[in-house]
Amino acid sequence: MCVVRIYVIYNGEFGERVIGNLINDKSFCKVCGASCTDCRWKTNWSYCNMIAGVNSPPENLPTIIDNPQDYLPKDPPRCDVVLSIGIHADLASALPLLAQQTAAKAVIFPVEDPKWMSRGLQYQLEKEMTEIGVETAFPKPFCSLEETGRRVIDSFINELKIGRPLMRVSLKGSRIMDTEVLRSAPCGSTWYIAEQIKNAPILGIEERIALAHHSYPCTASMENDPVLKEKILHKGGYMAREAVKRAIDEFAALHPEFESEIMQAIISTKRPAQIISPPFTPTVIEKEV
């Protein structure tokens, strides 16, 4: 398999999180504090060799930029994917030029805040990129990115193992005994959630997932998004819960003896779990017949 080379152009905390997750530096994740189990570093993985370069444009830019190309890197490295995170909208309008300068075959622009990308600008970029043969993705949020048959973007997801979260779990009785992260949310939250649900009962697990998702914390916007018709942060929460539910379902399919216990505590993924400070009363979601 060819290694996908990415070039990251970003502003803000979320971009730093994504880079930190990919590099997997020891100083990146400190959310567990003294109770850290080194879950991220047991296999000593890192995608440093897949990052062709990183650029952070100035943040104190004018509201309107007439010549955005003046603020883009002058001699960017060649790459396969340009990953643009949180940059000024006028700079984003020049991404087709950056794609050509880097010979990129795909551009990914995650949308963690409705202000990052308007529908009109997204349509314009999709049209211009298509004309020059560049794949595009505008996942909202980044953890909703999944394979859809786009060759380069699918390779990005598979090789860097980020996008829509995927997990594997093992159960004992009606408790989750062990977890494995197969694909993480780009910010790295899946690793923390996986640790927080170990040794936890399936009954009420949705509240535990929601608390972990918020505690990491998720930095997606709490503003209502005009396209999603809800908060982007809530959609990120759905992705986290669905990853755990899918992992439980897959375990049940391989171990039918657990099915009845699992069905008694099935997770709902159709609504956000209410955030309740412990101690809380678990909510049982009945399976529809």
Domains and their CATH numbers in the chain: 6-160 (3.40.50), 166-264 (no CATH)
The more confidently predicted of residues 289 and 230 is: 230
Cα torsion 27, 33, 34, 35: sign: negative
Average pLDDT over residues 232-259: 91
- Residue 277 predicted with pLDDT over 70: no
Mean pLDDT for 197-214 is 94
Is the model's pLDDT at 3 over the cut of 70?
A: yes
Q: What is the pLDDT of residue 173?
A: 83
DSSP per-residue codes, 164-226: S-EEEEEEETTEEEEEEEEEB-TTSHHHHHHHHTTTEESTTHHHHHHHHHHHTT--S--SEET
Instruction: Write down the mean pLDDT value for the chain.
Output: 89
pLDDT above 90 covers what percent of the chain? 75
Q: Across residues 234-260, what is the average pLDDT?
A: 90
Tokens of residue 61, six digits? 């830019």
Q: What is the mean pLDDT of residues 65-90?
A: 96
Instruction: For residue 281, name the pLDDT band (cuts at 50, 70, 90).
Output: very low
Cis amide bond preceding 165, omega within 30: no
* pLDDT above 90 for 167: yes
pLDDT at 275: 39
Which two tokens mark 77? 């490295």
Beta-strand pair 175-183/166-172: antiparallel
Q: Check whether 273 has a pLDDT greater than 50.
A: no
* pTM (2 d.p.): 0.88
